[in-house]
Structure 1
């Protein structure tokens, strides 16, 4: 069995068009030079990831698949630190020509921003 933070089971994925539509309809947007994350709270006990990387952004399937692999791996390593949110990851065209290390660093910063933005506010003392 995988420890939380190392696996990417079906329960950690957005699978249905309805789940994607819910995120697109009511999401906060967090973006940088390479990626745009749409983030919406969910009723699940864990974060879930959906990937929306189209041919417009990267015409070659090999480039889209590389970006997806990097995104899934990064999510697997950071999901233990994320709140219960649904995230749809979209790519900007510059990511197609960017090396994997830079993409990993960009995603790590974005996951940190998701955690900070979505953490419950503490009551005032």
Structure 2
């Protein structure tokens, strides 16, 4: 049985919209990370009942505008399909060098893997960091 299409939307409440919302994730005391050499997802728990997504696809790492748009489109789509498996977190997808060389299928597979990793790490109890 399929869920209603509206259950898998990507409306404004599911997005990080302001600089303050991005800053809250970057400055969070307890960040949750899911990393790969080509992508990084940073997240922190929010006080809402749903996850939110922000994107930072820098021109420095992805020169071509069509590649940046493709990466953002695929990141939004994978988030949209995985949002029901994610806890209430604010997540930011950051591009790293080399991400533009991935094709659509490889990028979607990588992002799905990172969303699963993020969900697992967000469910774990807080661990003491060793510095």
Give the structure-2-normalised TM-score: 0.86
CA distance in 1, matches of 2:38, 2:85: 21
Unmatched runs of 5 consecutive residues or more in structure 2: 126-131
Match of 1:12 among 6, 11, 14: 14
CA distance in 2, matches of 1:12, 1:46: 7
CA distance in 2, matches of 1:29, 1:119: 12
1:27-106 to 2 correspondence within 5 Å? Answer: 27-106=31-110
* Length, aligned pairs only: 120
Output one character per residue of 1:51-80: Cα deviation in whole Å (capped at 9) or x when no partner.
Answer: 011110111111100100010000000001
Give the structure-1-normalised TM-score: 0.90
CA distance in 1, matches of 2:102, 2:81: 20
Output one character per residue of 1:68-103: Cα deviation in whole Å (capped at 9) or x when no partner.
Answer: 001000000000100000001001121101101011
Runs (4 or more) in structure 1 with deviation over 2 Å come to: 1-4
Unmatched runs of 5 consecutive residues or more in structure 1: none
CA distance in 1, matches of 2:113, 2:51: 17
The two structures, once aligned, show a CA RMSD in angstroms of 1.3
**Between 111-120 and 61-70, the greater mean CA deviation after superposition:** 111-120
- Asked if structure 1 preserves the Cα contact closer than 8 Å seen for 2:33 and 2:42, the reply is yes
SS in 1 for 2:98: helix
